[in-house]
Chains A and B, each alone.
Chain A
Amino acid sequence: MDEFQTGSESVEGVIGGSAYQHSRVSQWTSSVVEQSLSQLSKLGKPFKYIVTCIIMQKNGAGLQTASSCFWDNSTDGSCTVRWENNSMYCIVSVFGLAI
């Protein structure tokens, strides 16, 4: 559960220098998630992955996220990457469940 540099790299790669654009947001969420997932599957571990991405415009609003999981603590885990720039926030959560 400690290779989550892949998560932050895929975020930087997709939306690194961009400002928030409503028309492109859904495209961004999809590509961030797909890139993270492909890099995770490259690791070749016997895990099922769930990757979630939240992109929010910076407008003074607040956001809270919580997750609760019913799994085997010794084999499963998760990791969250928070990324921001001048115009938006991006939160990527990765859950890995052992087969």
Chain B
Amino acid sequence: MSDLAKEKAARLLKKRGSMSSQGSRELRSKETAGKVKDSISTVSYIDEPSHHDDNVRPAVQMENTYQLGPVKRFPVLTVTDILKDVLTTYLQEEKYEVELSRQMTKTISEVVKARVKDLMIPRYKIVVLITIGQLNNQNIHVGSRCLWDMTTDTFSSYTFKNSSLFAVANVFAVYFE
């Protein structure tokens, strides 16, 4: 990460750090006072939290390539077309059903990942996020923020809708220095 980005982040933290700690204290006191507003929170991990981070770092030895930036940039428009294509072919005629959509989200994310990999963009790590939901006159808001290097990293997004469901696809591409 560049120094500028670190400085900006540090400035933001100085402004926000105190605010967030106050907020959580207030919440705790609300709960202890008995005015519980009925909220449940669950945390799930993709892999078990362990200290493998400390062990792995020295083991991975990579040679220096002395490369400052990516040789081939990530083609955002091509990926948007891939997303449009995949979502339309898989979901055009489908109705929202629990089991079907569960399988469909997993399948679509694997398919998108495979097609983006086929583009063979070197040194880019890919994260694909697919959300499929039922249309029931409800409102939904999906937001994301990223802490990365603006000059090399990017994302691509597509939303698909039919009469009974909607699908949101996000692809994030992060350069591996």
B141: chain A residues at CB < 8 Å are 25-26, 28-29, 54-56
Could you count the A-B residue pairs with CB atoms below 8 Å apart for me: how many are there?
236
B109: chain A residues at CB < 8 Å are 66-68
Closest to B30 in A: A17
User: Are A99 and B1 interface neighbours, CB within 8 A?
Assistant: yes
Q: Count residues of chain B with CB under 8 A from any CB of chain A.
A: 74
| A-side interface mostly | mixed
* Complex Cα gap A48–B6 (Å): 12
A62: chain B residues at CB < 8 Å are 96, 98, 101, 133-134
User: Are B101 and A33 interface neighbours, CB within 8 A?
Assistant: no
Residues of B whose CB lies within 8 Å of any CB of A are 1, 9, 12-13, 16-17, 20, 23-24, 27, 30, 37-47, 49-50, 52-53, 56-57, 60, 96, 98, 101-102, 104-106, 108-110, 112-113, 116-117, 125-149, 153, 170, 172, 174, 176-177
